[in-house]
Amino acid sequence: MAEAGAYDAHALHGFAHDSIARGSKSFALASQLFDRETRERVWLLYAWCRAADDLTDGQDHGGAMTPNHDPAVAVAHIRAQTDRAFAGDPIGDPAFDALGFLLTEVAIPRAVIDDIVAGFELDARDWRPRSEADLLRYAYHVAGAVGVAMALVMGIEPADETTLDRASDLGIAFQLANIARDVAEDAAADRCYLPVEWMVELDIPPGQHMHPAFRGRLSVMAKWLAEMAEEYEASARWGARKLGPRSRWAVLAAAGIYGDIAREVRARGDHAWDHRAGTSLFGKLGWVARAGWSVLRRPPQRRISREGLWTRPRLGAAE
C-alpha span between 1 and 99 (Å, rounded): 12
**Residue-averaged pLDDT of the chain:** 92
Q: Give 49's contacts (C-beta < 8 A, 6+ positions apart).
A: 116, 146
**Is the separation of the CB atoms in 216 and 263 below 8 Å?**
no
Kindly state whether residue 306 falls inside one of the protein's structural domains: no
- Domain that includes residue 161, residue range: 4-296
307 falls within a domain = no
The reply to whether 309 falls in a domain is: no
Q: Examine residue 282 and state whether it is found in any structural domain, yes or no.
A: yes
pLDDT at 1 over 60: no
- Using 50, 70 and 90 to split pLDDT, how confident is the model at 318? very low
Question: Residue length, the chain?
Answer: 319
Q: What is the CATH number of the domain that holds 47?
A: 1.10.600.10
Of the candidates 145, 142, 181, the residue with the CA atom closest to the CA atom of residue 53: 142
- Kindly indicate the confidence band of residue 69, based on its pLDDT and cuts at 50, 70 and 90: confident
pLDDT of residue 57: 87
d(CA 202, CA 214): 9
Amino acid at 27: F
CA dihedral (210, 213, 215, 216) positive or negative: negative
Give residue 302's pLDDT.
Answer: 76
Residue 314 belongs to some domain of the structure:
no
User: Does residue 313 lie within any of the structural domains?
Assistant: no
Give tens-digit pLDDT for 112-164: 999 999 999 999 998 999 999 999 999 999 999 999 999 999 999 999 999 99
Residue 26 C-alpha from the chain's centroid: 12
Asked if residue 66 has pLDDT above 70, the reply is: no
Q: How many domains in the chain?
A: 1
> To the nearest 10°, the Cα dihedral for 172, 176, 179, 181?
-130
* Cα distances (Å, whole numbers) of residue 144 to 59, 112, 113, 226, 313: 22, 10, 11, 16, 11
CB 88 within 8 A of CB 104: yes
The amino acid present at 264, given as its one-letter code, is E
Using the predicted structure, report yes or no on whether residue 289 has a pLDDT greater than 50.
Answer: yes
Under 8 Å CB-to-CB from 82, ≥6 apart: which residues?
Answer: 52, 96, 99, 113, 117
CB of 192 closer than 8 Å to CB of 174: no
pLDDT tens sequence across 258-271: 999 999 999 999 99
The pLDDT > 70 percentage for the chain reads 93
Residue 32 counted as domain residue: yes
**Do 134 and 37 contact (CB within 8 A), yes or no?**
no
Q: Does residue 311 lie in a domain region?
A: no
Residue that wins the pLDDT comparison between 61 and 159: 159
Query: Distance between CA 186 and CA 167 in Å, rounded?
Result: 26
At 316, is the pLDDT very low, low, confident or very high (cuts 50, 70, 90)? Answer: low
